A and B are shown apart, each in its own frame.
Chain A
Amino acid sequence: MSDKRTTVDDIVGELRSGMTIGIGGWGARRKPMAVVRALCRSDLLDLTVVAYGGPDVGLLCATGKVKKVVCPFVTLDSIALDPHWRAARQQGRVEVMEVDEGMFFLGLQAAAWRVPFLPTRAGLGSDVLTINPELRLVRSPYGAGSPYLHDPADADVELVAMPALHLDAAVVHTNRADTAGNGQILAPDPFFDPLFLGAADRRFLTTERTVDNGRLGDEGPLGTVVLHRLLTDGVAETPGGAHFTANPPDYDRDESLQKEYAASAGDPDAWEAFAARYVHVSEDEYRAHVTERTERAAR
Chain B
Amino acid sequence: MTATRPDRPDLPCTRAESCVVACAEAWRGAGEVMASPFGTIPSLGARLAKLTFAPDLVLTDGEAALMVGALPIESRAADLVREAAMPYRTVFDVVWSGRRHIMMMASQIDRTGNQNLSAIGPHHQPKVQLIGVRGAPGNSVNHPTSYWVPDHSVRTFVEHVDVVSGVGYGRALAAGSGATRFHDVRRVVSNLGVFDFETPEHIMRLRSYHPGVAVGDIVAATSFSLVIPDDVAETRLPTPEELDLLRTVLDPGARRDRDIRS
Residues of A within 8 A of B (CB): 26, 53, 71-75, 80-81, 85-86, 89-92, 98-103, 105, 120-128, 131, 151, 153-154, 157-159, 187-192, 195
Q: A98-B123, A154-B181 are in contact. List 7 more A-B contacts (CB 8 A).
A: A100-B133, A100-B134, A101-B134, A102-B95, A125-B167, A159-B178, A190-B87
Closest 7 CB pairs of A and B: A122-B138, A73-B132, A125-B175, A126-B137, A125-B167, A189-B64, A124-B179
The binding surface of chain B is classed by DSSP as: loop
Residues from chain B with Cβ under 8 Å of A26 in the complex: 88
Q: Is the CB of A100 within 8 A of B136?
A: yes
Residues from chain A with Cβ under 8 Å of B123 in the complex: 98, 127, 131
Number of A-B contacts (CB under 8 A): 145
In angstroms, Cα B92 to Cα A237, docked, is 32
Kindly report which residue of chain B lies nearest to residue A102, judged by CB atoms: B138
Kindly report which residue of chain B lies nearest to residue A119, judged by CB atoms: B178
Residues from chain A with Cβ under 8 Å of B88 in the complex: 26, 189, 191-192
Residues of B within 8 A of A (CB): 63-65, 85, 87-89, 92, 95-96, 118-119, 123-138, 140-142, 163-167, 171-172, 174-179, 181-183
In angstroms, Cα B141 to Cα A100, docked, is 12
Q: Is the CB of A127 within 8 A of B177?
A: no
Q: Which of A72, A86, A128, A191 contacts B129 (CB 8 A)?
A: A86
Residues from chain A with Cβ under 8 Å of B141 in the complex: 121-122, 124-125
In angstroms, Cα B141 to Cα A54, docked, is 26
Q: Is the CB of A126 within 8 A of B131?
A: no
Residues from chain B with Cβ under 8 Å of A125 in the complex: 137, 140-141, 164, 167, 171-172, 174-175, 179, 183
Kindly report which residue of chain A lies nearest to residue B95, judged by CB atoms: A102
Q: Which of A91, A99, A126 contacts B167 (CB 8 A)?
A: A126
Kindly report which residue of chain A lies nearest to residue B123, judged by CB atoms: A131
Given A127-B164, A189-B88; A153-B171 close (CB under 8 Å): no
Q: Which of A81, A99, A121, A191 contacts B179 (CB 8 A)?
A: A121
Residues from chain A with Cβ under 8 Å of B96 in the complex: 102, 120-122
Query: What are 27 A-B contacts defined by CB distance under 8 Å?
Result: A73-B132, A75-B131, A75-B132, A89-B129, A90-B126, A100-B134, A102-B92, A102-B135, A103-B138, A120-B138, A121-B182, A122-B141, A124-B141, A126-B133, A126-B140, A126-B167, A126-B171, A127-B164, A128-B133, A131-B123, A131-B163, A153-B177, A158-B175, A158-B176, A159-B178, A190-B87, A191-B89
Q: Is the CB of B138 within 8 A of A71?
A: no
Residues from chain A with Cβ under 8 Å of B89 in the complex: 105, 190-192, 195
Given A102-B135, A188-B87; A124-B176 close (CB under 8 Å): yes
Kindly report which residue of chain A lies nearest to residue B127, judged by CB atoms: A90
Residues from chain B with Cβ under 8 Å of A91 in the complex: 125
Q: Is the CB of A81 within 8 A of B131?
A: yes
Residues from chain A with Cβ under 8 Å of B136 in the complex: 100, 126
Q: Is the CB of B181 within 8 A of A153?
A: yes
In angstroms, Cα B167 to Cα A75, docked, is 22
Residues from chain B with Cβ under 8 Å of A151 in the complex: 181
